A and B are shown apart, each in its own frame.
Chain A
Amino acid sequence: MTAPLDPTAPAVVAAPSGLPAGTIQGRSLGQIAWMRLKRDKVAMGGAVVVVLLILIAIFAPVLVGWFGHPPNEFHQEMIDPSTMTPKGGTGISGDFLFGVEPLNGRDIFSRVLYGARISLLIAFFATLLSVVIGTVMGVVAGFFGGWVDTLISRAMDAFLAFPLLVFSLALIGVLAQFETSLAVKGDTLRILLLIFVIGFFNWPYIGRIIRGQTLSLREREFVDAARSLGARGPYILFREILPNLIAPVLIYATLLIPTNVLFEAALSFLGVGIPAPTATWGGMLSDAVKYYTVPHFMFFPGMAIFITVLAFNLFGDGLRDALDPKSSR
């Protein structure tokens, strides 16, 4: 943060005039933001974790090959046949880094790693869907105004009035009945379904923000200037407004990802996620609740969710500070 920290400090520090005169020239907004971001150690820490998580998700099969066992493989030999809990309490060893699940002895390490794939995949694409719908709707509503704006704004209000979680639960149940009539099935179908439901219901949040930004951009001088020079609607839209929406879209997309990670976990926790035996963090937690006396079972997936969401939040906060220092929320 280079913005003034002292409420009584002079505005001059934040204003461009306060910056070294030489440094400001020739740098794009992106470069300035990158400079700010690089200096924000916490945000960079979040970014590093995010990158690591993505790598873990991509290379889960390799990592599991080195350090674990196939995620769905049973290890009954690790289980006490009377209590169904891992022998020795957790089963944590060099062989099973995070121990094993009760009942069937599956490798928690492998399952947490594979869980990252589902979690991130769904969170990313659901966010993408929300951002695409939200941006298009927001820009259309904000740019064209009038009845188009009214219609889209009302639709957004209606969406926000739905009990999101309950509705997603029910919708997934209903849509699953279509299963046989669709080309894709199994996990792929469920993943698409979850992406659709999560992404589709979240777009109004982005939509509202983008609409507001578009409205204010439309009134700004440089758009007026362009218009007075005879620029036409599409030109203004694509050359003047959309580029200025990149920053808010990027910020809110980054902050929507952790929300979606939590949302996917909640759906899996409530039993409508990806079907067994595919490992998901929410699904693991839901299983682990029944074995709360074997706490390592809930600890690892719980921590995985926590670290992922925290990392994205930290990075998102930093990104916002960097791209939009005025909104220091």
Chain B
Amino acid sequence: MTFLELKDLRIHFPSDDGLVKSVDGLSFRLERGKTLGIVGESGSGKSVTSLGILGLHKGGRAKISGEIWLDGEELVSASAEHVRTLRGKKMAMIFQDPLSAMHPFYTVGAQIMEAYRIHHDVSKKVARKHAIEMLDRVGIPQPDRRVDSHPHEFSGGMRQRAMIAMALSCDPELLIADEPTTALDVTVQAQILDLMRDLQRDFNAALIIITHDLGVVAELSDDILVMYAGKAIEYGTAEDIFERPEHPYTWGLLGSMPRLDRERTERLLPIKGSPPSLINVPSGCAFHPRCVYADRTGGRSTSDVPELLESEGGHLVRCHLSRDVRRAVWENEIKPNLEAS
């Protein structure tokens, strides 16, 4: 049995301007001990997806359909209260920007203890000991002292470590990290990514990393899902995505990825245009207004919505361009450019 499976998940928000289709028919699977990277621009629906898995849209105005299977349980139809008991214990989340994600008025220790005690009937003393252990485990020096500090007294990296400690405090089986390193500087980023890799191994958890930064997923992920306008547009192993990407948008992402080995003066290759409206999604392929190769689809890009089709060995792509064209463009136009630079 698959540990986590999403089937045709849709999360829509009614607004004054119309229905915002933040997630529009998303499916994927994830096994224990594996890491999935979800990549996309802001607004592509990746964060909404993660919050949807945690059940945080329940009771709000969101319209949710589809299925989320976690360890044999369906969560979309489950009661909000039941999903709540799973949150923190069975599945936990690491948020970006730990300064705003942690309550400014409570000590770091108290916030970890709170998460632990909600799911474990233990005394404050035991919980505190556990909190110190967790802080120690994520590599915070002098954890018995730092446990009584407030978030604002921590450095950025320390805060993210504390955030991770909080998420891991109940041994979750599914861990979702939403842009875990965005707010950090480069050296600290590396440390945090290392830490997460180590911890995942120790806990044997399923990990979802959500980011707009392909560099991050490159380090950690087994599989990568690229999202655009609420839909998956490409899915494959890390190797598929980095070595044989087939979607023009993925090419764009790779082109805009900063690399440590590149010269600073070189210009990145940004994707032209801005992300689409989620209310009036462009007709046909949602990416077509920004797609340089739209004219090679024979006009289908504006009329038909492309299917997510298997290209080869589990590598899925949502594109009107034929596989051959895609491969040719990648090999001849994109890849040399990226490597040359």
Query: B-contacting residues of A (Cβ < 8 Å)?
Result: 1-2, 4-10, 12-13, 15, 17-21, 39
Contacts and interface: CB of A to CB of B under 8 A. Distances in A.
Contacts of A4: 13, 15
B56 A12 contact: no
B252 interface: no
B60 A9 contact: yes
A8 B62 contact: yes
A8 B60 contact: yes
B274 interface: yes
B35 interface: no
A295 B17 CA distance: 48
Interface string B260-286: 000000000000011111111000000
B48 interface: yes
A68 B273 CA distance: 64
Contacts of B259: none
A20 B274 CA distance: 10
B43 A8 contact: no
Contacts of B20: 10, 12-13, 18
B48 A10 contact: yes
A6 B51 CA distance: 13
B93 to A, nearest CB: 13
Contacts of A20: 17, 277, 279-280
A5 B57 CA distance: 13
Contacts of B57: 8
B277 A6 contact: no
B42 interface: yes
A15 B43 contact: yes
Interface string B55-97: 0110011100000000000000000000000000000000000
**Interface of chain A, helix or strand or loop or mixed?**
loop
A18 B19 CA distance: 11
A39 B275 CA distance: 26
A12 B277 contact: no
20 contacts: A4-B15, A6-B13, A7-B60, A8-B57, A8-B62, A9-B61, A10-B22, A10-B43, A12-B42, A12-B48, A13-B20, A13-B278, A15-B42, A15-B43, A17-B43, A17-B274, A18-B279, A20-B279, A20-B280, A21-B273
Nearest to A19: B277
B278 A18 contact: yes
Contact of A39 (B16, B61, B273): B16
Contacts of B275: 17, 21
B47 interface: yes
Interface string B1-18: 000000000000101110
Given A6-B62, A9-B61, A18 B16 contact: no
Contacts of B273: 21
B16 A2 contact: yes
Nearest to A25: B274
A114 B233 CA distance: 69
Given A7-B60, A18-B20, 8 more contacts: A10-B43, A10-B51, A13-B15, A18-B43, A18-B279, A19-B17, A21-B276, A21-B277
Contacts of A1: 16
Contacts of B48: 10, 12
Contacts of A17: 42-43, 274-275
Interface in B166-185: none
Interface string B237-277: 00000000000000000000000000000000000011111
Nearest to B280: A20
B22 A6 contact: no
A11 B112 CA distance: 26
B303 to A, nearest CB: 20
Given A18-B20, A39-B16, A6 B60 contact: yes
A39 B16 CA distance: 10
Contacts of B22: 10, 12
B151 to A, nearest CB: 21
Given A17-B274, A18-B278, A20-B279, A10 B47 contact: yes
A146 to B, nearest CB: 27
Interface in B297-318: none
